[in-house]
Chains A and B, each alone.
Chain A
Amino acid sequence: MRAPDDAEIRVQGVSVDFPLYHGSARSLKKTVFAVASGRLGEDQRRRMVVQALRDIDIVLRSGDRLGLIGTNGAGKTTLLRTIAGIYEPTAGRVMVQGSLNALLDPMLGMNVELTGRENIMLRGLYNGFTKPEIAALEADVQSFAELGAFLDLPVRLYSSGMVVRLGFAMATAIRPQVLLMDEWFLAGDAQFMEKARARMASMVRGAEILVLSSHAPTAVLEWCTRVIWMDHGRVREDGPVEAVLERYLKSAA
């Protein structure tokens, strides 16, 4: 029996189509003229879409650590974004039980014109934190990211290393039940990774479910207990880490 507040992810029959808007489809003028000349119907039926995900079914329970592997464009990141609720599927259903934190890009949706401190505050407000909780978040990020006076300067003035440190500190300061992570997170200069490692390990251990997208087999070997091999938007293989990784690496070679 699973407890009612245990984390769970159910992805049922999910497909995602990306509309492709090339230059002229973005233009109202062209669309209006197309309607006027009776070309729109044809246009709509022939609308260009990229089939990013096709009939994905995944169930993850508390304790699962899933690695998503596949080549670029296989749909790993799109699947993460769909589980995070950013892209709503064209067909199917996604259910995520438990608090969720998605670490998808190093910028984490930060506004580069705002200072680091302001971005931290916005993140806290987004999570519905109270004032003391935001203060705690700020203190934690401040001590970990070691930005010093830069914390009160706009993020656009940061070096790329500083941006990664801020993003990493912010992302790992909030502990979710469900952690979705893209591979950028495992990149970074060696010196920083040394320090970041313990902190990330503690967050990953704290999470009930981990979904890690990566094409670095080492990361998947280290963190995951199950691997899904994505290929052209479909699940090609789903199974234990070593077996799937071996076949994946063989096909890639």
Chain B
Amino acid sequence: MDMIPDRELPRLPTSTLVVTADVAGLRRQHSAWTDVTEGVKLWRLALALGWLDVKLKYRGSMLGPFWLTISTAVWIAAMGGIYGRLFHMDLHAYLPFLALSLTLWTSVSGLVSEGCSTFTEAEASIRSLRMPFFVHALRVVVRTVIGFAHNIPVILAVFAIFSRWPGWAALGCLPGLLLWTLDAFAACLLLGAFCARFRDIPPIVGSIMQIVFFVTPIMWQPEQLGAGGWWLPLNPFDSLLEVVRAPLLGQVAGWNIWGLALLFSLLLCAPSWLLFARVRSRLAYWV
């Protein structure tokens, strides 16, 4: 027998678990907040889960996640070539804009569609362990950030080719990225909970995002609309994209843009929080 009965194994830290049926509104808020803080404490687990997701997707392929980099590069080169010729655009100004917009958009739309399966994809672990639900949102966000990081070389290459360095102004994207992070968590919790309950939401979200792609300045620049662009501020993705993109192109996002971005973020975060606090205790029954 290779048994050593009393081997030294890691012991679990002592803890107290109290689960009370959620009834009152304030208690719900408190449980939801505890879920978030406990989830943040498990950040190493969320990092590993997110990283393994990326690794898993490209397991067995030679280049691994760098396929992301290559496919983005090919896409931007092709789009840039075709659109530049079709609409007679100055590639020197257009391609850096396109490279940045497309990569940022890929992350945003990826997050939205993967946010839908935040909880459903974690069904196995939700049913067998008690884990803060926020860990699953953290995992989706980590995965998206890793995906975006693989596209950064493409942006840098395009900037280098057209020598359009934004300079120190680029640091202005940090507050925007902070806002994005907050919105990303909100989107995961909102969509994840909704899609756990109603299984026909993901395809609806998918087609909405496809339309959004065309009505948001990603392939085209807002100036091209001229006076016909009065409706643009109504598109939440326009201002939200601009607070990150403008600084990276060496421009400054104005206060009106920031105001809109903050307003739309509030309109996302508040309902998301209320929904999460309300249904958190039901999620294990839904997945």
Tell me the A residues contacting B by CB distance below 8 Å.
Answer: 5, 14, 18-19, 21, 26-29, 31, 81-82, 84-102, 104-105, 107-111, 113-114, 118, 121-122, 124-129, 133, 136-137, 140, 143, 173-177, 195, 198-199, 202
25 pairs, CB–CB < 8 Å, chain A vs chain B: A5-B14, A19-B285, A26-B198, A26-B199, A29-B200, A81-B127, A82-B19, A94-B18, A95-B16, A96-B17, A99-B12, A99-B15, A100-B15, A100-B17, A109-B125, A109-B126, A114-B56, A121-B48, A126-B129, A127-B10, A140-B9, A174-B11, A175-B12, A195-B1, A202-B5
Contact pick for A101, options B12, B19, B125, CB 8 Å: B12
Is the CB–CB distance between A86 and B13 below 8 Å? no
CA distance in complex: A92, B42 (Å): 28
Q: Given A82-B19, A96-B16, list of 12 further CB < 8 A pairs? A: A26-B198, A26-B200, A89-B21, A95-B17, A96-B17, A96-B18, A98-B16, A99-B12, A107-B128, A108-B128, A175-B9, A199-B5
Contact pick for A28, options B14, B20, B204, CB 8 Å: B204
Contact pick for A91, options B16, B21, B128, CB 8 Å: B21
Is the CB–CB distance between B18 and A109 below 8 Å? no
Is the CB–CB distance between A109 and B3 below 8 Å? no
Cβ distance A163 to chain B, nearest Cβ, rounded Å: 13
Q: A29-B200, A98-B14, A140-B7 are in contact. Are A198 and B1 (CB under 8 A)?
A: yes
Is the CB–CB distance between A18 and B3 below 8 Å? no
CA distance in complex: A105, B79 (Å): 50
Per the 8 Å Cβ criterion, residues 12-59 of B in contact with A are: 12-22, 41-42, 44-45, 48-49, 52, 56
Is the CB–CB distance between B14 and A177 below 8 Å? yes
- The tally of residues in B whose CB lies under 8 Å from a CB in A reads 48
CA distance in complex: A112, B124 (Å): 10
CA distance in complex: A110, B5 (Å): 26
Cβ distance B232 to chain A, nearest Cβ, rounded Å: 29
Is the CB–CB distance between A125 and B45 below 8 Å? yes
CA distance in complex: A86, B14 (Å): 18
CA distance in complex: A219, B198 (Å): 41
Closest residue of B by beta carbon distance from A29: B200
Closest residue of B by beta carbon distance from A140: B9
Contact pick for B9, options A81, A174, A195, CB 8 Å: A174
Is the CB–CB distance between A126 and B1 below 8 Å? no
- List the B side residues contacting A108 at CB < 8 Å: 128-129
Per the 8 Å Cβ criterion, residues 158-212 of B in contact with A are: 197-201, 204
